[in-house]
Amino acid sequence: MFVATGIGPYCGQAVHFKYFAPDPKEYAVNRYTFEAERHWKLVDAQLQGKEWMVGDTYTLVDMAVWGWSRMIPRVMGAEAWAMLPNVKRHLDAINARPAAQRAEAIKERFTFKQEVDDDARRALFPQNARLG
Domain assignment present for residue 39? The answer is: yes
pLDDT in tens, 52-103: 999 899 999 999 999 999 999 999 999 999 999 999 999 999 999 999 999 9
Q: Is 121 within the bounds of a domain?
A: no
**Residue type at position 36:** A
Give the pLDDT of residue 21.
Answer: 87
Query: Which of 57, 75, 69, 54 is closest to 104 using CA atoms?
Result: 69
Reported confidence tier of residue 131, pLDDT bands at 50, 70, 90:
confident
CATH code, domain with 91? 1.20.1050.10
In a domain, 29, yes or no: yes
Q: Do the domain assignments include residue 132?
A: no
For residue 19, the surrounding DSSP H or E stretch is helix 8-19
131 in a structural domain: no
CB 43 within 8 A of CB 65: yes
Tell me the C-alpha distance between 127 and 132, whole Å: 10
125 within a domain of the structure (yes/no): no
Q: Domain range for residue 8?
A: 2-114
Number of domains in the chain: 1
Asked if the structure places residue 126 within a domain, the reply is no
Residue 119 lies in a domain: no
- Confirm if 71 and 56 have CB atoms less than 8 A apart: no
This prediction has a pTM of: 0.87
